[in-house]
Structure 1
Amino acid sequence: MKLVGYARVSTVEQNLDLQISALRAAGCSAIFADQGVSGADFHRPGLRKALRQLSDGDMLAVWRLDRLGRSLVDLIQTVNGLSKRGCEFRSLTEKIDTSSSGGRLLFHVMGAMAEFERSIISERTKAGMEAAKARGARIGRRPSMTSEQTEMARRAVDIDLVSVPEVAASYGVHPKTLARLLRGGIC
């Protein structure tokens, strides 16, 4: 059995050393990594390379569950894909090892708990935004242009026949932003 490690950090400023040290200590013969890649990102070249190294009877190891994926669906799909290939999965921090029935059960329970925690955080964020809106706070980015500026830009394009890129440059906005505002978008 070959133990292959995978490590990931979301930003380039973060360091992989802790994960790589733990994976080496666990006995990984090869370790692949993605740096500056979100767990939600489908394009993870390091993970793809790690998965290609695995064959029947091998095991993929990660330092923590969330290093493999951000959602329960993603985690389960990846681990089920490993299982179909005759491979197992190990998470060092949560001490999950799918080579045993207890490890498979624990994997599903931990994944569900992580998904539950993320959904609670999301619900709290949405509730906070709704409360702020009810108090009259403006949510989101500030408008690129005031309604007066948009109207002046509209006149410049419609009446003075100035091109949208020229008018956009004069207001310091992207031509697509100006075009959206002129179509009646929020300003």
Structure 2
Amino acid sequence: MILGYARVSTSKQELESQIQRLKDTGADKIFSDVISGKRFDRPGLSEMMSFAREGDTLCVVRLDRLGRSMKELLEIMDRLKARQVEFRSLEEQLDTTTAAGFLIFHVFAALTDFERRLIAERTRDGLAVAMAKGHMPGRPKIETTKITQAQLLIAGGSSKASAARTVGISLSSLSRHLKSVASE
């Protein structure tokens, strides 16, 4: 049996293209998760691992859909191997039914881990450069005078939306600030 596994990191991303490719490949049953690849506790992956039987093949569209770190990929591969479940990745054309395919899997697992680490390094470097130039990451601070003006408008009978528009901030920013002031 071919078991498919699809994963996206956030609900803003779509699973359908992965699911369709897995169906086109002949997947008999597809498991999925909408969760970061950094997380090891993925319900769809756990369900698939419990379902897999000797002789099955796990198929993913891309290796990074299965895991983001070399450690995790190797752990999953060991669990599959212990259950005598083969593995295929469509994009990388990996197939662990052969010795060469198993070797190539390990090379790609190392490259996936390397890529993840490079992205993290570039992000840290970019933040350091921005901070050195005086740019602070995150949301810009809202001037307290704008909040005070908005509070006065609300006290005078204006709606929160109208007050936010008048002082030039978003309603969500005003609401968040008012909520934090109220909880103090």
TM-score after normalising by structure 2: 0.72
Partner of 2:19: 20
Q: Distance in 2 between matches of 1:174 and 1:77?
A: 45
State whether residues 144 and 173 of structure 1, in contact with CA within 8 Å, keep that contact through their aligned partners in structure 2.
no
Is the contact between residue 71 and residue 115 of structure 1 (CA under 8 Å) also seen in structure 2? yes
CA 1:170–1:32 in 2, change beyond 3 Å: closer, same or farther? Answer: closer
Name the SS for the 1:75 alignment partner: helix
Inter-CA distance 138–15: structure 2 relative to 1 (3 Å threshold)? closer
Listed as ranges, the gaps of 5+ residues in structure 1 are 147-167, 176-187
CA RMSD of aligned residues (A): 2.5
Name the residue aligned to 1:108: 106
Q: Contact 1:4–1:53 (CA<8 Å) still a contact in 2?
A: no
Aligned residues: 152
Match of 1:48 among 46, 49, 61: 46
Paired residue for 1:172?
181
Identical-residue share of aligned pairs (%) = 43
Evaluate the alpha carbon distance shift between residue 32 and residue 125 of structure 1 in structure 2; reply closer, same or farther with a 3 A threshold: same
Counterpart CA distance in 1 for 2:182 and 2:44 is: 38
Candidates 104, 117, 120, aligned match of 1:119: 117
Q: C-alpha separation between the residues in 2 aligned to 1:45 and 1:121?
A: 26
- Per-residue CA distance 1:43-100 (angstroms, 9 max, x = gap): 3211111111111222111111111111111111111111112111111111101111
Shift of 1:125: 1.6
Residue 31 of structure 1: SS of its match in structure 2? Answer: strand
Q: Which amino acid aligns with 2:59?
A: A
